[in-house]
Structure 1
Amino acid sequence: MAEAAEPVKPSSWSVLKLALKNRKTGYMALFGFASGLPFALFLGTLYAWLSEAEVDLETMGVFSLIGLAYAFQFLWSPLVDRLDIPGLRRLGKRKQWIAPMQLLLGIILVTLSLLDPKSQLGWFSLLAGIGAFASATQDIVINAWRIDIADDEATIDILSTVTQMGFRLAALVGGALGLIIAERIGWPQTYVIMGLIMLGIGIAGLFAPDADVDKAAATTMNEEKTAELYEVGEIEPRVRNWALLAVGLLWGWAIVTVLIFMVRSLTALPEDRPDPTLFTATYGPLIIAATIIVPAFIAAWLVKLNRDGKHVIKEGRVAKKADGLILDQLYRALLLPLVEFVGRMGWSLVLVFALVLTYRITDAIWGTFAYPFYLGELEYTLDEVAVASKFFGVGAILLGLALGGWMITAFGRMFTLTLGAFLAAATNLLYADLALGGARMQAVSDAIGFTWAVLQFPGGSERLARLMITIGGENLAIGIAGAAYIAWLSSIVAKGYSAVQYALLASLTLLVGTLGRGALGQMIEERGYYDVFIFTMLIGMVAVVLCILEWMREHRAGRKSGVVAADPPPQVARSQ
């Protein structure tokens, strides 16, 4: 009897074509844009408006608190993951949060256009703060939505790439294009336009697919999940509740600490306001330790008890009100995502955390010093930096994201992740050459005809060409690395706990870069930019090594589960 023919794997182009035709992919691009637009408007463009309104720098410093909403968004991710909005649950578990946040952001942007930032600064700052909170909440849910709705056709790799492309395009629209529009028609009109865009996205989002839309089914599943905590072999409620108490106290301390800091910053006199940078550097690691690291050890302890058969339920029973259903819900929201993660990953979680902490460090730590380098050290003009960074640079990132998305489908996620880490580290050498005068970058620009092309435009020069080719090279690498990293990060979290697990990992991504900026600034002062670029390149190579180790781990895990390769090309499923 003839053996069955082995199924033919589709080409990477076929996979891409099928994914791009899927409506989930279209909505993912829309949601990625919706995620990036408020981020650009609240953390970048808004400062230009305040500067034009002659708001003093000390007052503008208070607006840096807006960034805390993004930095510590994981603190309320369990609430967003488990809480239903009355009357909106029928939209779906994720859409009940996504659409209202987008509509709220649209209303806030339009309302801001009606206020004078100088004479009505109190209302202006309050609305901006609420907007940043809504934007960060939207990001939590959009990331979870992407993971939940991914399938064999609209793969997590493609959806992750499309998310980043939408986000970067929104950064261009809300940043550079926003400045251009404001120069011609004014800031209020600009924010009206941006607000109407967000309102349009919010209305369109009502029709997006979701992971589930049946409230009755969701309620039944919720009851079943709670009942599972009382099955034979599960941790005893008493032990579980003590663990929950410890984690709850840690999370409570973190939330109260952030709230106290924000209240002091908003109510104290300018000379008594705490320094946001110092707060992040001092309390940031403690908050991460209290909300992620220590709870991870507690989760590991619970996993060990379960595997050893200690303090587990011997006889199954039905959950009753006396057993504390509220505590069960809190346990599922706060601790169970980590218990699931630790139980599934085991000691591999150490490698995952190490990779998360180091993968984006080269661009995260350097970004703060980019403008001082361009404008101060190299003495480029604002117009030259805008052309090279905001327009050409964003285009290079979009190209890198597209290239990264194709490479994932063609060569696999881990290959692209590793290559992206290497390229992101290696491009620091481009800046090192620029710090020495840029002779090599100028030679490359001349050799490929790029210098000639730049000279054809008004204001073009050889020095602008070498800046553009350097920024373009780095951003191309960042695009490839970003596409692979978001896809990898999305692939290692569980769908049932996607909101909390992804938010926690994403917060760790920015930790080392945020904490290392002070030391890097001191190193620039003492050693100069060239040595710093060599140093950041070497740091980036650590991430390359960790990528290779993670690649080996996933390959071994795939072999143990009977899969030939840990990262095969995605299969094409029937249209849904």
Structure 2
Amino acid sequence: MSDGATEPAPVSYKGWRGIRRAFGTPSAFVMLLLGFGSGLPFLPIASMTLSTRLRDDGLDLGSIGLISLASFFYLLKFLWAPLIDRYAFPLTAFLGRRRSWLLASQLVVGASLAALALVRPDLGVGSLVGWVLVGSFAGATQDSAVDAYRIEIAPASAQAALAATYTLGYRIGLILAGAGALYLAEFRGWTAAYLGIALLMLLPVVATLVCREPVAPEATVERRIDVIGAFWQPFTSFFSRNGLALGLVLLAFVGLFKFPDQVIGVMAGPFYLDAGYSKADIATVSKLYGIWLGIGGAFLGGVGVAAFGFRRMLLLAVVGVALSNLAFLLMARFPSELWAFYAAITADNLFQGFAGTVLVAFMSSLTDRNFTATQYALLVSLANLPGKFVGGVSGYIVEATSYGMFFLSSALTVVPALLLLGWLWPRIAESQAPPAAGAAALPPH
């Protein structure tokens, strides 16, 4: 893996021989481990593992929804991504610009997971919220650094392999942090579950230490050297490339694309428990069976974009994500029935994985490589921000209505995204589709 400071001479990645060559590169294996490190902390810090733990400890739904807002750093990482683009992290700068941020963030993520293992939510949530804040900041920083590393470590013709191995590693991390943590919590308790996840963060740490630093891309725009320029230029570059009107509509569309899915994320774990399923049931169906369906959906999305272009796949993804929310009505109608759980998870995770790949491929086509971390972080944050904030009050919505009404209304929130896509339809050039046939899916609930 660590075999020099520069990339080897460019090679062809076309055809089956090229695919084998791309997947066999050290960079592909590195992305597997870095993807694993990105997926590992998301559920126990910002999503279902945390909310399931809190419900298991007796917290009410309203409090769980509000506590979920403590992970908001995952949504605001574009605010400090310009620093990741411009500078190395001071204490680990000897590793290079990308690896310095990777190592620092991975160590803090591991420490925050270990601290969360020792807190007692039933005795007060103050320290838990504090460590969720620390962990989400470090996890978001790690994600930004990994995204930039992935785009810069290899040419565009090899990005499909890197995206696919990243996706596989990310999903394996989700399996261990979801199903693995729930199984451990069932039989050993939540302290053992969180300590186990913290120890697994050593794998991406080792990968960061032995992998090579990507060569910085040659600047195609004149960069300002001051801090204000580091923050301002990535945003002005985006609008200068797309124009003000198109740029604003693109950002709004990205923000609403997965809104129906994102808004129900916080309530997923509590809903499974309230529907009568054990932690072992949730681990088996949602975090083992469901994760592999998500991987399959992700690769279907990549094939769809490569074969048919963006527009039709964006439409299919938007509608599919909204309709998949209705599948949860089966679980509300038939609580404790495993067949209903499997049916809902099949629809949800398949379309979730599909939509995540389509969206990431679309966002990648909008990113200027001069500002990789910043622009991509902005788009990813927008893809999660609206749903995350509504998810913060979703517990109160459920308590005021019902789970069934909540899922039905969440599906109807697809309408604004469809209207924006209609306006964008003649303005999306199918030729913009990147060479990558697959892309890393956005974090699921």
Category of TM-score, reference length = shorter chain? 0.7 to 0.9
* Stretches of structure 2 lacking an aligned partner (at least 5 in a row): 1-11, 438-445
Distance 1:193 1:529 in 2: 33
- Contact 2:96–2:213 (8 Å) recurs in 1: yes
**Residues of 2 paired with 1:511 and 1:66: CA distance?**
13
Please, which of 91, 97, 103 is the counterpart of residue 93 of structure 1? 97
- Matching residue of 2:200: 197
Q: Write the mapping of 1:448-467 to structure 2, written as runs, cut at 5 A.
A: 463-467=337-341
What's the CA shift for 1:98? Answer: 0.6
What per-residue deviation string (whole Å, max 9, x for no partner) do you get for residues 363-382 of structure 1? 01122344565555x55555
Question: Quick one: which of 288, 297, 314 aligns to 1:391?
Answer: 288
State the secondary structure of the residue aligned to 1:212: coil
Shift of 1:162: 4.1
Any conservation in 1 of the 2:36–2:169 contact (CA below 8 Å)? Answer: yes
Aligned equivalent of 2:144: 140
* Residue 438 of structure 2 is aligned to residue 540 of structure 1: no
Selected match of 1:354 from 252, 268, 271: 252
Larger radius of gyration: 1
Contact kept in structure 1, 2:152 and 2:215, CA below 8 Å: no
Distance 1:533 1:123 in 2: 32
- Residue by residue over 1:353-405, the C-alpha shift from the partner in whole angstroms, topping out at 9 and shown as x without a partner, is 121121011101122344565555x5555554444323322222122123223
Q: How does 1:414-433 map to 2 (within 5 A)?
A: 414-432=311-329
Matches for 1:144-543 after TM superposition, within 5 Å? 144-155=148-159, 158-184=161-187, 189-212=192-215, 225-226=222-223, 328-346=225-243, 347-371=245-269, 373-374=271-272, 376=274, 383-432=280-329, 463-517=337-391, 533-543=407-417
- Residue 355 of structure 2 aligns with an amino acid whose one-letter code is A
**Structure 1 residues 207, 122: CA separation in 2 closer, same or farther (over 3 Å shift)?**
same
* 8 Å CA contact retained: 1:160, 1:487: no
Whichever residue aligns with residue 254 of structure 2, its letter is V
Distance in 1 between the 2:150 and 2:45 partners? 24
CA distance in 1, matches of 2:189, 2:379: 39
CA distance in 2, matches of 1:549, 1:131: 39
- 1:509 and 1:51, CA in 2 relative to 1: closer, same or farther beyond 3 A? closer
Shift of 1:510: 2.3
> 1:181-201 deviations in whole A, cap 9, x for unaligned?
355556555544433321232
Q: Is the 8 A contact 1:100 1:202 kept in 2?
A: no
Q: Which residue of 2 aligns with 1:32?
A: 35
Cα distance, 1:530 vs. partner?
A: 5.4
Amino acid at match of 1:38: P
Whether the 8 Å CA contact 2:330–2:340 is kept in 1: the answer is no
Measure how far apart 1:546 and its partner are.
Answer: 3.8
Match of 2:134 among 130, 135, 150: 130
Identify if the C-alpha distance between structure 1 residues 9 and 515 changes in structure 2 by more than 3 Å, giving closer, same or farther.
Answer: closer
Q: Compute the displacement of 1:479 (Å).
A: 0.6
Q: 1:531 to 1:56 in 2, by over 3 A?
A: closer
Q: CA deviation at 1:352?
A: 0.6
* SS of corresponding position for 1:67: helix
Q: Deviations over 1:5-43 (max 9, x none)?
A: xxx9956x6665444233323222221211121222334
Q: TM-score, normalised by structure 1?
A: 0.62
Relative to structure 1, is the Cα distance of residues 513 and 339 closer, same or farther in structure 2, using a 3 angstrom cutoff?
A: same
Aligned length: 423
CA deviation string 1:413-458 (max 9, x = no partner): 54433322222123234345665669xxxxxxxxxxxxxxxxxxxx
Structure 2 letter corresponding to 1:502: Y
Structure 1 residues 90-115: Cα deviation after superposition (integer angstroms, max 9, x where no partner): 533211211222234335545666x5
Q: Does the aligned pair in 1 maintain the 2:365–2:433 contact within 8 Å? A: no
CA distance in 2, matches of 1:179, 1:192: 13
Q: Structure 1 174/32 Cα, relative in aligned 2: closer, same or farther at 3 Å?
A: same
Q: Is contact 2:69-2:389 (8 Å) kept?
A: no
Mapped partners of 1:537, 1:60: distance in 2: 22
Alignment RMSD: 4.2
Distance 1:526 1:117 in 2: 28
Q: Which residue of 2 aligns with 1:103?
A: 107
What is the CA-CA distance between 1:163 and the residue it aligns to? Answer: 3.4
Alignment of 1:56-71 (within 5 A): 64=68, 66-71=70-75
Report if aligned partners of 1:416, 1:480 keep a CA contact under 8 Å in 2. no
Aligned partner (choices 25, 36, 55) of residue 22 of structure 1: 25
Query: Contact (CA 8 Å) 1:92, 1:212: kept in 2 or not?
Result: no
- Give CA deviations for 1:453-491 in whole Å, capped at 9, x if unaligned: xxxxxxxx9x32132122212210111111111222122
Is 1:41 matched with 2:39?
Answer: no
Q: Percent identity?
A: 31
One-letter identity of the residue aligned with 1:94: R
- The structure-2 alpha-carbon separation of the partners of 1:47 and 1:352, relative to structure 1 and needing over 3 Å to count, comes to closer
Where do 5+ consecutive residues of structure 1 fail to align?
A: 1-7, 230-327, 439-460, 559-564, 572-576
With over 3 angstroms needed to count, the CA separation of the structure-2 counterparts of 1:481 and 1:468, relative to structure 1, is: same
